Structure 1
Amino acid sequence: MSEAIRKLEIELDVPLIERGHKFEGLTAEGAQIVRWAETILDNQKSLRHTAASLRSGVTGMLRLGVVPTASVAAADITAPLSLRHPLIHVRIHGDLSSRDIETRLNRFELEGGITYVDDGDASRHRIFPLYRERYALLTADDPNMPRGSTASWSDAATLPMCTLPSNMRVRRILDETFARHGASPVAHIETDSLASLYAHVKTGRWVSVVPRRWVEVLGDPPGTRSTPLEDTLDLPAPMIGLITRAEAPSVVTEALQEVAATLDRTSSEIPIEE
């Protein structure tokens, strides 16, 4: 390997590694060459997938990263994708942070990611808006209490909370929304598990704020009740969308992009049963 690196340095006429008594890391030039090499290898893989698709239709592995709050939205993409391209195999990497998704995309470890796209970098990624994330107050179900059409953020903040962890983007969004209403809820329980969150709320000792999309897909699990939280008129609801790398997409990525382009629901309200 040392000899191969030395020959490559001679060929390119730039130093690639810092040399001492042992390997000390890449030079600045070496780091750029590594990024070029990753792109070349990914393009080679894309070429092979393109050739295969010309023979038998689009085929290959699609690796999709998803932030936890959008996990139920993955099927909105994978279902029509699989219908159009049954030879594509999908592997979903759930419970990733927005930062993890961007990092893995840039390292060619993912073909796409479902994440928050309000401040996305259009120079590095293609962005496909899917829907705006709105929220509901999740409580234990009390059949003796009337159901309200909406709940206020300020009232919700006075209740003991079971929340998602503070390192998640959605938690920061919720904290900012509460602050806009002059409220500061106290998180008694933090969990990154959807099952754990629902189980804690069901006891009646805690409440939680969850995406309405969860309610749309999962309904209200037995023993719980969801009430839409009033929209904050001066604060646009955060945007969930698909991001892919901007440069040289593979045929699998192009198939993903084509499906995502038909799924924009950002102008529609998410129906909630009351």
Structure 2
Amino acid sequence: MLNKLEMFIAVAKEGHFGRAAQALGITQPSLSAGIKQLEDQLGVQLIFRGSRFGGLTPEGQRALVWARKIVADSRQLRDEMRATKHGLSGQIRIAAIPTALTWAARISTVFSAAHPNVKLTILSRPSSQILTMLDDLDADAGLTYLDNEPLGRVSAVPLYEERYMVVSAEGGVFAGRTSVDWSDLDGVPMCLLSPEMQNRRIIDRNLGASGVVPQVGVESNSTVVLIAHVQSGGWVTVLPEGVARFLTEGKPLDLIPLSGGEVGHRVGLIAPHRDPNTPVLAALLAEAGRVSDLV
């Protein structure tokens, strides 16, 4: 039944039989047959379908909660048995907000040194997608904001508190300044992260509270793109200190602290709340605690 539950989860996630089959690496007829067998075993219809996917039935919605739990429990059992026999091994997938990717590298470095047989995959994603990825079992852990939007029931290790910096071309509009107030950004051409990013929403709140309507000429979901535009001249951007220092090192750019605004938001490592955690996740959370600036 386990493989059929994984098929069901994939269909619920994709909302499309063809895409779900492609994601699982099987044919669509095999997927359809697996879902029908699962419905026969459970004695209920899980999916509304005619010529195409029509959504989950009420029974399907309840079954999806159980399917995710059963599949997650089976993976935990496999990981625990493997750890008992061979030590920590396997793969762990971390979805991180773009502004925290330098911290993802810091955690993965110390974790890999302690547990070299575990392969890490790090994915850059908006915070809104990270919780969905955890629910859909597409990520094992997330690196995201802890106190700006609801997280639900998760295990969390606070890592750092954001401090915002203005990045501008060397000798630019804020040359010689030791700090910049949010209100000083009024009328300044800016390039910022795109609106779906939680960091952008935080920045917009700070600008709005200072009476600034930002003049945004370029938006991107990539911090690298923002720095490239600042370096080419004509724009400034606002980024958290850690990623700003990393991306501007050795470049002809000015990095200036922003004063005022909201208290910095905490960013941390989160994982689905389980008692106990899988051995690999427990080790990851422990290593995050060792490198944290807040624990």
TM-score range, shorter chain: 0.7 to 0.9
- Counting only pairs closer than 5 Å after superposition, residues 41-190 of structure 1 correspond to structure 2 as 41-94=71-124, 96-119=125-148, 121=150, 123-142=152-171, 147-190=176-219
SS state at 1:262 partner: helix
The one-letter code sitting in structure 1 at the alignment partner of 2:38 is I
SS state at 2:178 partner: coil
Q: Are the counterparts in 2 of residues 130 and 263 from structure 1 also a CA contact under 8 Å? A: yes
Other-structure match for 2:59: 29
SS state at 2:233 partner: coil
Instruction: Report deviation, 1:24.
Output: 4.4
Mark the runs of 5 or more structure 2 residues left unpaired by the alignment.
Answer: 1-32
- Higher mean displacement: 136-145 or 174-183: 136-145
Structure number with greater CO (CA < 8 Å, separation at least 6) is 1
- Higher mean displacement: 244-253 or 85-94: 244-253
Q: Are the counterparts in 1 of residues 165 and 258 from structure 2 also a CA contact under 8 Å? A: yes
Equivalent residue for 1:256, pick from 281, 284, 291: 284
1:238 maps to 2:268 = no
Q: TM-score, normalised by structure 1?
A: 0.85
SS state at 1:259 partner: helix
By percentage of residues, which structure has more helix?
2
Q: Number of residue pairs matched?
A: 261
Q: Are the counterparts in 2 of residues 98 and 169 from structure 1 also a CA contact under 8 Å? A: yes
Instruction: Report deviation, 1:144.
Output: 12
Q: Are the counterparts in 2 of residues 239 and 266 from structure 1 also a CA contact under 8 Å? A: no
Mark the runs of 5 or more structure 1 residues left unpaired by the alignment.
Answer: 268-274
- Higher mean displacement: 54-63 or 248-257: 248-257
CA change 1:59–1:217 in 2 (3 A) is same
The one-letter code sitting in structure 2 at the alignment partner of 1:30 is G
SS state at 1:89 partner: strand
Instruction: Report deviation, 1:72.
Output: 1.3
The one-letter code sitting in structure 1 at the alignment partner of 2:161 is R
Instruction: State the identity %.
Output: 31
| RMSD value, Cα | 2.5
CA change 1:204–1:177 in 2 (3 A) is same
Distance 2:273 2:80 in 1: 18
Which digits, 9 at most, give the CA deviation of each residue in 1:57-101, with x for residues without a partner? 11111000011111111112111111221111000111x111100
Q: TM-score, normalised by structure 2?
A: 0.80
